[in-house]
């Protein structure tokens, strides 16, 4: 099974941190403040999962 089969979702704050947005803690603060959008939708709760390959 390859890592692009759809089961490779990671937490949004981890993805943002690995993309260089800031530390994981800083990314958590951005999410909780409602300053992060995914596919046009505001994410304001921790634990959101994203597919890093999309």
pLDDT tens per residue across span 2-30: 555 557 999 999 999 999 999 999 999 99
Region 34-52: mean pLDDT is 96
Whole-number pLDDT of residue 1: 47
Whole-number pLDDT of residue 20: 98
Taking residue 3's Cβ as centre, other Cβ atoms within 10 Å add up to 9
- In angstroms, the CA 49 to CA 27 distance is 14
Taking residue 31's Cβ as centre, other Cβ atoms within 10 Å add up to 22
Whole-number pLDDT of residue 29: 98
Q: Torsion over CA of 14, 19, 21 and 25, rounded to 10 degrees?
A: 20
């Amino acid at each position: 099974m390859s890592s692009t089969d759809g089961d490779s979702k990671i937490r949004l704050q981890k993805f943002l941190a690995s993309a260089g947005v800031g530390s994981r803690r800083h990314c958590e603060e951005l999410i909780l403040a409602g300053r992060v959008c995914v596919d046009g939708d505001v994410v304001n709760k921790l634990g959101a999962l994203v597919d890093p390959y999309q």
